[in-house]
A and B are shown apart, each in its own frame.
Chain A
């Protein structure tokens, strides 16, 4: 497997260039008591002016048309991409999902917040739908961290959400090019000592049987809203005359 060699396996916080660069603060549990004592002393005054300010959590939401997804001016083309599946064998994205509404997300398993939440939201959406509807949907997770995300790691991670989800890993430059082609610009992984930082996608793209996506969801859509949108998208899609062979 052509994984890049440089990575030491260690999760680390993201600190993009625009963020302040400072040493990572490590607070040891053994210092809890000391910290409490200090704070106890400091807290007795309860004084001081509050001039704190910073931006609230970023939430992107653009509800257009009758969907919770954003409508794209120009359709996205599903990458004709062959990577490594969770079984360790080559998987072609288009062929593996032929005849299905294919939801593609770029992320990584060491991502604490957005990636697992997005996969869980999608898994929750499928649980809200009928078996017949579910059979017409494929969810594809493409890692942006192929160094840590081996087929085995991805399989284990996806099993927490829905074991039918398709996981893909492989050469980073191939993944990066595919992501870029659908408007997901990944910053080059940054090394900080033995660690490195990667990006995740902020969107889920639904490709129809014509391999085009006309809408996309930005992260933060609830399972209920996904399910509602997916039902509508399936209704617009040609009935499952399973076109074997796909692309």
Chain B
């Protein structure tokens, strides 16, 4: 079981290119091209995870996007390899609403976390167990998309919380 292991930011870390194939290599290359500019957004995705869903019909994905660049960006969509319907949501009070785009501030971060922003994964195509991974691809308005493998963590997992 790999609980606790960080999400693997596939599109960073040139050394991993040897192991990455096809699509992953492509996104890595484009991300590198983008982040070499000094004025653009420089995005990094960390801490991605999917709590093991209690329902067989719906799961959620969370992550943090940090931008060390001088320009902000916008997250415009997320796809997942376990769901044809991945939607960005924001929980507000007793409801949640779908969101089209979420800003990533320059020299700042955007966090998807329980009770706030989340990616809803409807009708997962396989049962998700701890130790599995869900491949998420995040698309941005300016930057190249970034693909990460989000580990499936225990149900109700919160980063940093012990129980």
Which A residues fall within an 8 A CB radius of B? 11-16, 19-20, 22, 24-29, 32-33, 35-37, 39-40, 42-50, 52-54, 56-60, 109-114, 116-117, 119-121, 123-125, 127-128, 157-158, 160-161, 184-187, 197, 199-202, 219-220, 222-224
Contacts and interface: CB of A to CB of B under 8 A. Distances in A.
A161 B144 contact: no
Contacts of A160: 52, 54, 155
A111 B91 CA distance: 10
24 contacts: A16-B95, A22-B100, A24-B98, A25-B87, A29-B80, A29-B84, A32-B137, A40-B26, A40-B30, A43-B30, A43-B140, A44-B30, A46-B41, A57-B111, A57-B115, A58-B93, A58-B115, A109-B54, A112-B89, A112-B96, A116-B156, A124-B161, A201-B94, A222-B158
B102 interface: yes
A39 B155 contact: no
B87 A57 contact: no
Chain B at the A interface: SS class: mixed
B77 to A, nearest CB: 6
A185 B115 CA distance: 19
A58 B120 contact: no
Interface in B75-126: 77, 79-81, 84-87, 89-104, 106, 111, 113-118, 120-123
Given A32-B137, A43-B34, A123 B23 contact: no
Nearest to B110: A56
Given A36-B30, A37-B26, A57-B111, A113 B101 contact: no
A40 B144 contact: yes
Q: 6 closest pairs, A vs B, by CB?
A: A120-B156, A57-B116, A46-B40, A52-B103, A124-B163, A160-B54
B163 A224 contact: yes
Contacts of B47: none
B33 A219 contact: no
Nearest to A227: B163
Contact of A109 (B34, B41, B55): B55
Q: Is the interface of A mostly helix, strand, loop or mixed?
A: loop
B150 interface: no
Interface of B: 22-23, 26-27, 29-31, 33-34, 37, 39-41, 51-55, 57-60, 71-74, 77, 79-81, 84-87, 89-104, 106, 111, 113-118, 120-123, 137, 139-145, 155-158, 161, 163
A37 B25 CA distance: 12
Given A46-B39, A50-B72, A114-B91, A128 B113 contact: no
Contacts of A43: 30-31, 33-34, 140, 142-144
A42 B163 CA distance: 44
A114 B115 contact: yes
B115 A113 contact: yes
A128 B163 contact: yes
A54 B79 CA distance: 22
Contact of A54 (B40, B103, B115, B140): B103
Given A29-B81, A112-B89, A161 B39 contact: no
Give the one of B34, B54, B81, B123 with max A CB within 10 A: B54
